[in-house]
């Protein structure tokens, strides 16, 4: 097949790479791609958010499928525009992408569908929002309603912190239109994990579970980031929880969206909080009464979860994506290999704050068994590969056990360097603290 992958990060490199692992030979293009994708695909110099440019390219080149990676073009209606032009695309239309683009909309859908989630309320007036805080207790979560590049969520430990976050968004206009409305939400105790579900509008098939590391520092310390690493499977997602997740969380949302006239096709990403006797909860079960609650939904492959999940998939990845886009997904389209993966993010000094770009990267040429290096924020400067983002590389290791996978990833990253590079040294620590690793 001729396939266009839209995006420029580690997620898109992983998608393109996984397509090259199919037995079928595909012609792969990336818009705009990065230094890593250039070795396995043809990079097309069109921004991921340039809807008109991507549609024009697709009308001319006629790909069999367009796979949209980031959330911004989904929310902007790229899939709608492609479908109108007669181009098949993997990803939800703009109305479905509101599951990520509007936290208020997602919460309304969850409540209508009976999905277990935290208590929440939305506000546009700062004083009314602050007056409601006592009913939520502490800690409390303050979220900007719209897309805020992963920075629109504040977990406030004190009332003052919560009030400051509300003022920051509603009065200070920190996130612009994305923060014109805020969601105040019950803090959920437990252990987070992620489930990516492939949806074809009617049916859903779960991909392997994963867990990422959002905090910048070892021991889950410091500010939140876009993700400092991930691993799959996540032991907190035991086999008995999978039917609950599919039947009580994923499918009710798919059906509720359908009831609203929205045929959801693509990835429905459920960020979950598990609170049971094995997850060492810091507090009580949520007011929903469920041991598994939805923290958030995203409308696309996660990053860096994708880099830890896709290497575990067998079969034809392109066929799975195409069948979902066409509304004829089958359970057999998803093939999971019996192994584990771990991903470590190599970041630029200063991330998630300000950071320098243009640092030469060394050690990329060597190929190491059971590892793959995905590029997140890279570019070329002559013959050199240089840094161009806060998250620069995503190094993934695989193995029969999670320990083997983690050791492979750390072994590979030890041979890579650039000025200011840093990474977490404790990826998958929660899984090892549990003492056992299931397969989900």
The confidence score (pLDDT) of residue 284 equals: 65
| 274-325: pLDDT as tens digits | 987 665 555 566 777 788 999 999 999 999 999 999 999 999 999 999 999 9
Say how many domains are in the chain: 4
When the pLDDT of each residue in the chain is averaged and rounded to a whole number, the result is 94
52, part of any domain: yes
Residues 291 and 321 in one domain: yes
Angstrom distance (rounded) from CA 414 to CA 28:
30
- Whether residues 223 and 328 share a domain: the answer is yes
Boundary residue ending a domain (319, 336, 353): 336
Across 359-381, average pLDDT = 96
User: What's the CATH number where 320 sits?
Assistant: 3.30.470.20
* Ranges assigned E (strand) in 44-165: 65-68, 89-90, 120-123, 140-144, 153-156
- Residue 258 counted as domain residue: yes
* End-to-end CA gap in the chain: 30
Range(s) of the domain holding residue 220? 191-336
Note whether 232 and 142 are same-domain residues.
no
Indicate whether 436 pLDDT > 60. Answer: no
pLDDT value at 20 more than 50:
yes
Q: Are residues 48 and 144 in the same domain?
A: no
Residue 110 is predicted with a pLDDT of 97
Cis before 107 (ω within 30): no
User: Does one domain contain both 196 and 325?
Assistant: yes
Query: At which of 315, 336, 357 does a domain end?
Result: 336
- Please indicate, yes or no, whether the overall pTM of this predicted structure exceeds 0.85: yes
User: Per the domain annotation, does 284 fall within a domain?
Assistant: yes
Same domain, 323 and 199: yes
- Look up the CATH number of the domain holding residue 81: 3.40.50.20
The partner residues of 293 in beta bridges, in order of sequence, read 273
Instruction: List, for residues 24-75, the tens digit of each pLDDT value.
Output: 999 999 999 999 999 999 999 999 999 999 999 999 999 999 999 999 999 9
Same domain, 350 and 428: yes
Q: Domain for residue 14, yes or no?
A: yes
| Domain-terminating residue out of 336, 365, 397 | 336
Question: What are the Cα distances from residue 176, in Å, to 5, 73, 147, 170?
Answer: 29, 18, 10, 9
CATH of residue 413's domain is 3.90.600.10
Specify whether 327 is located in the same domain as 197: yes
In a domain, 185, yes or no: no
Same domain, 68 and 144: no
SS3 16: helix
Ordered DSSP codes for 281-347: -SSPPPTT--SEEEEEEESS--TTHHHHHGGGEES-HHHHHHHHHHT---GGG-EE-S-EEEEEEEE
- CATH of residue 151's domain is 3.30.1490.20
Same domain, 289 and 319: yes
Tell me what pLDDT residue 329 has.
Answer: 98
pLDDT tens sequence across 395-407:
999 999 999 999 9
- The mean per-residue pLDDT over the stretch 156-166 comes to 95
3-state secondary structure of 53: helix
Check residue 438 and give its pLDDT.
46
Q: Say what percent of the chain tops pLDDT 70.
A: 96
Residue 425 lies in a domain: yes
- What is the pLDDT confidence band of residue 439, given thresholds at 50, 70 and 90? very low
Please list, in sequence order, all residues whose beta carbon lies within 8 angstroms of the beta carbon of residue 205, skipping any fewer than 6 positions away.
Answer: 197, 198, 329, 331, 333, 334
* pLDDT of 279: 59
Longest Cα–Cα distance of the chain, Å, equals: 59
What pLDDT does residue 277 have?
A: 63
The whole-number average pLDDT for the span 162-191 is: 92
If asked whether residues 213 and 172 sit together in one domain, one would say no
In a domain, 440, yes or no: no
95 pLDDT above the threshold of 90:
yes
Query: Once rounded to an integer, what is the mean pLDDT over residues 361-373?
Result: 95
Q: Could you tell me what percent of the chain has a pLDDT over 90?
A: 89
Do residues 259 and 373 both lie within one domain? no
Measure the CA–CA gap between 293 and 68, rounded to whole angstroms: 27
The answer as to whether 117 is a domain residue is no
Work out the pLDDT band at 151, boundaries 50, 70, 90: confident
């Amino acid at each position: 097949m001729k396939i266009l992958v839209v995006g420029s990060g580690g997620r898109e490199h992983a998608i393109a790479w996984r397509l090259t692992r199919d037995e079928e030979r595909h012609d792969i293009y990336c818009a705009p791609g990065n230094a890593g994708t250039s070795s396995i695909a043809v990079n097309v110099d069109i921004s991921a958010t340039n809807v008109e440019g991507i549609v024009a390219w697709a009308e001319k080149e006629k790909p069999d499928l367009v796979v949209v990676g980031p959330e911004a073009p989904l929310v902007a209606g790229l899939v709608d525009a492609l479908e109108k032009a007669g181009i098949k695309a993997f990803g939800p239309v703009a109305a479905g992408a509101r599951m990520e683009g509007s936290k208020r909309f997602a919460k309304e859908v969850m409540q209508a569908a009976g999905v277990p989630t935290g208590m929440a309320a939305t506000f546009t007036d700062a004083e009314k929002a602050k007056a409601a805080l006592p009913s939520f207790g502490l800690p409390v979560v303050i979220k900007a309603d719209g897309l805020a590049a992963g920075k629109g969520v504040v977990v406030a430990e004190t009332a003052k912190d919560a009030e400051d976050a509300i003022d920051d968004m509603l009065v200070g206009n920190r996130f612009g239109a994305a923060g014109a409305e805020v969601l105040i939400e019950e803090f959920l105790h437990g252990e987070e994990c992620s489930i990516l579900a492939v949806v074809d509008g009617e049916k859903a098939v779960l991909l392997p579970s994963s867990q990422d590391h959002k905090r910048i520092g070892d021991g889950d310390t410091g500010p939140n980031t876009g993700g400092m690493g991930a691993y799959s499977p996540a032991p907190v997602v035991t086999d008995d929880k999978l039917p609950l997740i599919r039947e009580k969380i994923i499918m009710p949302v798919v059906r509720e969206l359908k009831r609203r006239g929205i045929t959801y096709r693509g990835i429905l990403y459920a960020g979950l909080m598990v609170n049971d006797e094995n997850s060492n909860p810091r507090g009580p079960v949520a007011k929903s009464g469920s041991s598994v609650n939805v923290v958030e939904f995203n409308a696309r492959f996660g990053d860096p979860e994708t880099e830890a999940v896709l290497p575990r998939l067998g079969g034809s990845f392109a066929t799975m994506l195409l069948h979902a886009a066409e509304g004829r997904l089958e359970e057999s389209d998803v093939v999971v290999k019996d192994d584990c993966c771990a991903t470590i993010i190599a970041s630029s000094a200063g991330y998630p704050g300000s950071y320098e770009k243009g640092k030469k990267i060394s050690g990329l040429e060597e190929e190491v068994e059971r590892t793959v290096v995905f590029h997140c924020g890279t570019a070329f400067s002559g013959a050199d590969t240089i840094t161009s983002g806060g998250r620069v590389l995503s190094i993934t290791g695989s193995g029969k056990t999670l320990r083997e996978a983690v050791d492979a990833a750390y072994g590979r990253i030890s041979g890579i360097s650039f000025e200011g590079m840093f990474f977490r040294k404790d990826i998958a620590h929660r899984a090892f603290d549990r003492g056992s690793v299931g397969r989900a």
